[in-house]
Structures are given as C-alpha cells and as structure tokens.
C-alpha cells in the first residue's frame, strides 16, 4: 500500500474520519481521529500529539511526539456508520526530527526483528491464542453462559457474539482459524492464523478492540483480564513461534529427534533460561500471577514437552514431520500483555539461545503438577515468579530485558510496575476481612 493507494481507497469508500492508533508502554491502545481532508498531510509528515500524557512516554519538558501512519494498516472499520465511514491506521511514533521514538513498542519489536535479520532469519512467525471472558457488564463478573470447553449447546449463549466478531475480523482482512468456547464458564477463544510478528501484533491490537466493540454493541462486556474468576481457569495467550530463513522453516530438521533443528532447540532453551526475567513482560499485572498457579491449566514450571500441557513450552505434534507445522508454543503469556513488547522479548530470548549455543534439556513428559517440590528440585525444574514483586526483582537484574526494551522503556516499565505492586500490597481484601477480622 502506497500513500496514493490509501487516498484512493479512502475516496472510494467515502471515508470521513481516520482513527490513528498506537500503544503506550503497557499495551493500552491510544487513538485520535483526523478528517479525510487531513489524510494526505498526515501521511506526509505525521500528526503531532502530547507524549507526556501517554503512560511510559516522554516527560513534560520533551513531550512533542509525531504519530506517523503506516499505509499498510489502512482499513475501514466495519461497525462505523454507513453514512460516515471511519477507517483506522496504526502508527509508528517518532520524535519531531523524524527519528523513531525509542519508547514506541512498535519500534522495540522492529529492533528485535532487525537482530533476527542480522542473524540470517527472514521472518519470525507468531500465532497467539487469546482467551477472554464475556460478562453481563463491566461492574461485576456475572457470566453470560455456563458452557464448557468446545461446548455446542444452548448454554453457549455467546455463539452469536463470536460469529459476529469473526465476521468483523474477516472484513478487516484478519484470517481466523478457530472460534470456540473455552474451559471456564463464559470464557471464549478466537484464534488468528499465524503471521509475521509485526503484522500479528497489529492484528492482536485490532482483535482485542473488535472483541470488545462487538460485545458492547450487544450490551455485554468482554475482558482480557488474566484471572477474573476465583474458581475458574484464567485467560491465557499461548504463543506459537517459528523462525524462517530463505523461505524455509529454520526450526525443522527431518533427520533430528522430534524434528527439531539445532536452532529450534537453542531458541527454546533461550526462552526457558530467561523465562523468569521476562515474566514482567508476558505476565505484567498483579492479577496475572493469580492465573499462574498450579491446578488451573496455566503452566508455571520451567520445562518443555511434546504433549504435556503442564510444561511451560510445548512442541505441538498435530502434524509431526511437516516442515511448516514445526514450531514451539510458549504457554505462560496472558492476553493483557503488551503484544509488541512480548514478541520482542521472546524473540530476543530465543536469539540469545541461538547466539550463545544454549543446550536444551530433555523433555519432561510427566504431569509436573503431580511432582512434589523435592522431586522438581532434584530434577532442576524452576518455577515462574510467584507474584509481580518477585518478577520485578528478576527483571531488575536482567541484561537481556534491558537490551530488548532499551534503557528508556526498561526503566519506565520497572517504575510503573513497582508503583502497581506497592499499591497492590497495601490493599485489604474481602478475603482478609472474612478470614481474620472475626478471630483476631
């Protein structure tokens, strides 16, 4: 898509407004609208905004920022009024002199992809599976249905919502592989077909917006909160990954055990070795660690397997021996993560493994939840951090994370997470009142 292609499409669709999207350091989508008359100027020089008002961005004395629309992301929003169609474009954030802004999550992912290119890899493909809940409204957790995994019954009251969401995604050019009810009551999943990391990250931001928009139009609320219900599974974002070079899957070796190449093994080993220090990225909120507990399908033990879903990394065996299907699946991220930073950090960890020749340990095919702490210790199996405070301490000593994010975003993210955890620590919960007030 060129500038002229965008202008022509906007005219043909009678687009009246264009929403310019970008994300803050926590992955919250930000947006402002311009009229169609401003589109050409916006694509030539970008549109200015106040960076000091964006979480994790600039200080007030250096707050001028530029949102530069990416022509390839121009799409007409399906739910915009027919009489006044609105489009959206995802932006790169730049400084007034035109340089990429170091705190832009999209730029951080682009830097990671450049490292992969320098190491000879053309593409980093990702296929995240984002789960979410439907509730009656945003003020509570009253479920919309009581269905279970893959249910096709009258209990699954959200089938129409999922169908309309899939249709909207397809209108936006986003291919969908599956949609189904998940394990938890009122929990659902729509899986996108894998794509290169940058395109997929843009799609995920669009996907989350579409899910929420369609729900709102039907008078209900959709949430990507990792663990909203105490007695149900939390929502995960299992992330499938593979590296390609010269059009071939670098993870595949037809003659190797498990069909995994040396690069694949080292890449997986890199993500396992650095998992604890990257937890602040793929599980960034205090609530994320309510999901990462044994017994609710979320993996917490740092190991890998071929079939065993209790391990942190799984190598799917749906199509064994097929080159394009060979990949790794990291099962610990949740859908509240900043998708750009998540992909960037995971890629850096995997590339670190390849660059430094990390060795992959033997797979753990036993149910790790059934092992005692002593057995896991004897087998050398570590756990992810138990809470955000522990994750912060791991991140504070992480050279890899500093390299992946850059000094600006690394320091800003740590500051924000310390504030979140300190605020969380001083809360007195209903559980504490019910348990301790009557007896102490």
Choose the catalytic residue: 38, 50, 84, 423: 50
What is the DSSP secondary-structure string of 159-214? HHHHHHHHHHHHHTT--EEEEEE-SSTTEEEEEEPPEEHHHHHHHHHHHHHHHHHH
Radius of gyration over every alpha carbon of the chain, rounded to an integer in angstroms: 22
Between CA 432 and CA 440 the distance in angstroms is: 11
**Which entry of 88, 94, 273, 331 is annotated as an active-site residue?**
331
Say which residues have a Cβ less than 8 Å from residue 311's Cβ, sequence separation at least 6.
Answer: 299, 301, 303, 304, 305, 331, 363, 364, 368
Q: Which of 24, 104, 156, 189 is catalytic?
A: 189
Cβ proximity of 204 and 130 under 8 Å: yes
* Interatomic CA distance for residues 417 and 396, integer angstroms: 11
Give the count of beta carbons closer than 10 Å to the beta carbon of residue 78. 17
- Tell me the C-alpha distance between 180 and 163, whole Å: 10
Q: Which of 88, 107, 238, 276 is catalytic?
A: 238
- Side-chain-facing half-sphere of 295: CA atoms under 13 Å: 5
Distance, in Å, from the CA atom of 241 to the CA atom of 268, rounded to the nearest integer, reads 10
Residue of 131, 156, 195, 277 with catalytic role: 131
Query: 70, 329, 334, 352: which one is catalytic?
Result: 329
Tell me which of 309, 366, 376, 408 is the catalytic residue: 309
CA distances from 116 to 111, 217, 263, 352 (A): 9, 41, 12, 10
Active site (annotated) includes residue 129: yes
Active site residue 189: yes
Q: Is 167 left (phi over 0), alpha (psi -120 to 50) or beta?
A: alpha
Is residue 131 part of the annotated active site? The answer reads: yes
- For residue 110, give both structure tokens: 């682009």
Can you name the residues that pair with 188 across neighbouring β-strands? 132, 181
Active site residue 12: no
Q: Tokens 């004395």 map to which residue?
A: 61
Tell me how far CA of residue 347 lies from CA of 117, 181, 383, 389, in angstroms. Answer: 12, 30, 21, 24
Question: Which residue is catalytic, options 24, 129, 263, 352?
Answer: 129
Furthest-apart CA pair in the chain: how many Å? 72
Residue 263 bears catalytic tag: no
Q: Is 331 among the residues known to form the active site?
A: yes
Catalytic residue among 24, 182, 195, 394: 182
Q: Which residues are catalytic?
A: 50, 129, 131, 182, 189, 238, 309, 329, 331
């Amino acid at each position: 898509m060129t500038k002229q292609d965008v202008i022509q499409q906007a005219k043909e669709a009678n687009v009246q407004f264009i929403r310019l999207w970008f994300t803050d350091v926590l992955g919250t989508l930000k947006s402002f609208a311009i009229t169609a008359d401003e589109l050409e100027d916006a694509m030539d020089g970008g549109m200015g905004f106040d960076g000091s008002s964006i979480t994790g961005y600039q200080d007030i004395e250096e707050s001028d920022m530029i949102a530069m629309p990416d022509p390839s992301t121009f799409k007409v929003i399906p739910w915009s009024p027919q009489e006044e169609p609105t489009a959206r474009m995802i932006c790169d954030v730049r400084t007034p002199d035109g340089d990429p802004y170091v705190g832009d999550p999209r730029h951080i992912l682009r830097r990671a992809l450049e490292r992969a290119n320098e190491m000879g890899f053309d593409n980093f493909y990702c296929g995240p599976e984002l789960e979410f809940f439907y509730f009656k409204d945003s003020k509570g957790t009253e479920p919309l249905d009581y269905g279970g995994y893959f249910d096709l019954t009258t209990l699954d009251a959200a089938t129409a919502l999922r169908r309309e969401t899939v249709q909207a995604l397809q209108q936006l050019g986003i291919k969908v592989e599956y949609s189904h009810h998940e394990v938890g009551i009122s929990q659902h999943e729509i899986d996108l077909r894998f794509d290169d990391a940058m395109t997929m990250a843009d799609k995920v931001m669009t996907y989350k917006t579409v899910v929420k928009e369609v729900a709102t139009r039907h008078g209900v609320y959709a949430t990507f909160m990792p663990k909203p219900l105490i007695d149900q599974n939390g929502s995960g974002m299992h992330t499938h990954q593979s590296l390609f070079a010269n059009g071939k899957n670098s993870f595949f070796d037809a003659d190797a055990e498990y069909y995994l190449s040396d690069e694949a093994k080292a890449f997986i080993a890199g993500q396992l070795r650095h998992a604890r220090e990257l937890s602040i990225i793929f599980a960034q909120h205090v609530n994320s660690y309510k999901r990462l507990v044994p017994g609710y399908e979320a993996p917490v033990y740092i190991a890998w397997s071929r079939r065993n879903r209790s391990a942190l990394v799984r190598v799917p065996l749906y199509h064994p021996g097929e080159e394009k299907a060979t990949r790794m699946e990291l099962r610990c991220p949740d859908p509240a993560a900043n998708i750009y930073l998540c992909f960037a950090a995971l890629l850096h960890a995997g590339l670190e493994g390849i660059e430094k020749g990390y060795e992959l340990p033997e797979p753990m095919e036993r149910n790790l939840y059934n092992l005692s702490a002593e057995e896991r210790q004897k087998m050398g199996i570590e756990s992810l951090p138990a809470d955000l405070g522990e994750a912060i301490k791991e991140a504070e000593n992480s050279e890899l994370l500093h390299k992946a994010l850059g000094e600006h975003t690394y320091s800003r993210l740590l500051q924000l997470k310390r504030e979140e955890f300190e605020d969380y620590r001083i809360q007195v919960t209903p559980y504490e009142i019910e348990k301790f007030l009557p007896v102490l």
